[in-house]
Chain A
C-alpha cells in the first residue's frame, strides 16, 4: 500500500490547493490524465448538443416546405452545428486522447508543461461557454432585405453566418446584432486553447521521451499527435488574424473584407481555408493514429509499413497546407489557380491511399478478433474510403462547380469526419476504456452500438450523395414539393434518429460498465504499446520507474519472441513478467515528485471571456475585470513553483 504525505503549503496569492478528491481536486488538477478525462466529458457534452442541433435540422427537412423552423432559426442551427462539432466536439475529444495517452505512450510522467495543459483545458471550457452564451445574451437582428426580426426567436439568436463565416455575409450589414461577434471571439478564445496545447504536445514529444524511445520507435498515435500539433501551431495563427479582422470590421468599422471600403471578401476565404483545410487533417489524423494502434493489436500482427504510415501522415500534413483553394473553385480565382489546386488535391490522395493500403496490409492474414474497437476501426476504413473517393471527385474543377453548395458536399465531409474521425474516436474510446477505468465495457452493447451507428450513419449520409446530385442545395431551410426530394430526405431523417439511438446505447454502456463492469486484466488486449505495461486505471505517477525502450513495440517484444518462420511465440515467462510489472507499477520504490495542483490556470482562463464581452459591448469595466483576472492568474502563476515534493512512501 502507498500513502501520500501532504506537501508543505507555501503561500502565494491563494493557499496551495491540496484536496485529492472532490470537485476542487478536479478544478485545480494539472494531471494530464484527469485533464484528458475532463476534456473527454466536456467534448462529449458538446457532441450531444451538436447532435441535437443536427436532429432539429433534420426534423425541419423531413417534409417539403416545412415550417418547423424559420429561415433565421435554420441558419443559426446549421452554423452552431458545424461550429460545435468541429471546435467543441471532435477537436477536444482528440485533445482528450492526446492528453491521456501521449505521456503514457512515450514513457513520461506528465506533459512538458502541466499547468499550461490545465490552462488550455480551462480556456477551452470558457471559450465554449462564451460561444454558447450567445443564446442568452446574443442578438441576431434582421438583415437588410432578409427575414424579419420577429422570425429570429430564441433559437435564432445564435451565430448564423455559417461555421465558415463567409464575408460580407457575416459582416455587420447582413448579419446584424452581436451573434456573429460571439462566433468570431469565441473561436478566437478556443484557438488560444488549441495553440497552447499544440506547443505543449510538440515540446512533450521532442523532449519528454523516455530513454531509448527514439523517434522511429514512437507509436503511430504519438506520431499523429505530433503531426496534428504542427498543423495546429501553423494554421491557427492564420485564422486568428483573420478573425481579428472580422472583429475589427464588425466592431470598429474597418473594411478589411468589405468591398465598399476597398477590402476583399475573397481574402477572407483564402485566410479561412488556409486554416480550414489543415483543420480537416487536424480532425482526421488523430483517428488515423487510433486506428493504427487498434488494427495491429486485434490482427495480432505488427503494423504493416510503420515508416510509410508515419511519413504518409506528415506528407498529408505538409500537402494539407497547399490545397486550400479547392474550397473556392466557385469563387473568383484564376483558371491557373484552379488547375494547380485541383492537381494538389489529387496529390494529397496519394499519402492517404498509402495509409489505407498499409492498414489493409496489417489486417491481411492476421488472426482478426472482431470486438467493438476493431469493428469501429474496420468501419472507419470502409467509410473513410467512400468519403475520400468522393473527395477526389471535388478535385475535378468542372464537376466541383456542379457539386458546390449541394448535399453532395455535405455527404462527402460527413463520410470523412463522421465515418472517419468519429468512428476512429469511438474505436479509441472502447479500446482504452479498460486503461482509463480499470473495468471492461459490455461487449454486446458495444457491438449493438456499432451496428446501429453503421446503419444509421449510412442511411443518413449515403442518400445525401443522390440528393446533392439531384440539386438539393445546402444551407437552405426548405425545398419545394415539386422537386421530388422528399423520399430520400425522410430516409436521411430516420437515419439521423438511428444514430441518436446508437449514442444512447453507447452512453448506457459507458455509465454501467464504468460502475459495474468486470475488473480489467492487466493487459486485456495483449497489446503492443507502453501504456499497457502499467496497471489500469493508470496510477497517479504513471510509471513507477522510467521505462527503457529497446525497439518499436517494445512491450510486445517482452511478451513474444519469434520462431524460425517469423511467427510470434509467447515467451514462457511472459505471464510472470506481467505480474511483476503490475506489482512494480502499483508500488513505486522511491519518492516521486509530481507537479502540484494550482488555482491559477482556471483564474487566468476566466479572464478571457470578460475580455471577449468587453470587445462585444465596448465596455471598459468588463475589460478591466478581464485584465485583473489575467494579471492575478499570471502573477500567481509566475511566483508559484511548479512542484513541491509529494512523497509517496512504500508502506508495508
Chain B
C-alpha cells in the first residue's frame, strides 16, 4: 500500500461500566488513560500530547493537564460533539507526522446516565444566538431533528421502516456477544436484553415520528482512552500497532434548498479514503456513529458504501452482521444503540476499530485488515460535523 504509516493506535481502554454512580467524569478519564497506557506498555510520563473534548467537569483542556500532572507540548481542545475523537485522531496524526509529539492521549468520561441527562428529549440551553432564536420556539428535540432526516429519506428514496430496523437488529446481534454491552442493557433496564427482529423495532414506541425507541441510542455513563504514538514508539509497544492511514474533517448545516439526506460525511469520507488510498469496498469493519438508525444509513451512503438513497436495499439480507460473510461488519461492539452512548460516542468507534484489527473483538471478523471510524457530531438534520478515520492492521 502507498499510504504513509507515521502514527498508530497503540493503547486502548473502554471503561467497563455504563452505570457508575458516585464516579466523576474525570475519574473515568484518568482510570481509562492509566489502563490504556498499560495496554500499550507505556508510562504516565511518556505522554507529551493531550487531546480533550472538554468533557471532564474541571474546565476541559485548561484543567486536564493540571489534573493529570503533565506538561504536554501539544494541547488540542477540539470539541465537535460526538465526532470530536475522529477530529482529534486526525490532529494527532498530523502533529506526530510534524514531529510535535510522540505519545498522544485522547480520553472521554461522562456520567450522563447517573445524572439523568435527557440528551434526546430535553431542551437545549445556553445563551440566545442567531440560530437558537429561530428554533427554540418550536420544541424540536434532538431526536426530532434526526427524525426529520429519516422522514425525508423515506419520502425521497422509498426507504422503509423495516430496512432501517435492520441496522438495530445487526448492532443488537453484536451487543449480545459483548458481555459489557449485555451488562449495560441490563443495568439500564432495557426491556428484553436479547436478540431482536425488525418487527420488535417496529413494535417499539415512537419517540419522534418516524423514529422508534429501538432506533435510538441509549444514554449511559462511560468513557475510555486511546493512545496514539509515532511509528518509532509504536514498534516497541506491547500490542501490534493499528495504523491511522487517512482522515477527513467536514461540516454541514441547514441551507436554503439544501439536501437534508446528505451529511458532512460526503465531504470528509472522500478526503479520508483518498489519503488512505483505499476504497469503501475494501473495508472490513464499519464503525459508524449510531446515535440513530438514520445516522448510520446516511453516513454509509455518504462514505460511498452504496449510492445515495440505496441504503435500504444495501442493508437488506443482513450484510452488516459480523458473521454475514458479506460485510462490512457494522459496530461490532453493539454500538450506541446497544452498548455505549454517554453523549459523545466517537471514541468508541476508534476503540472497537482497533480491537477488530488486533483480533480482540467479541464479534471478531476473521482476518480484518481495514476499518473506518466515522463520527457525526451535532444534529444530522441541522448543524453537524463529520470526522472520518481509516485504520489499518499492521
A binds B: no
Interface positions of A (Cβ within 8 A of B) = none
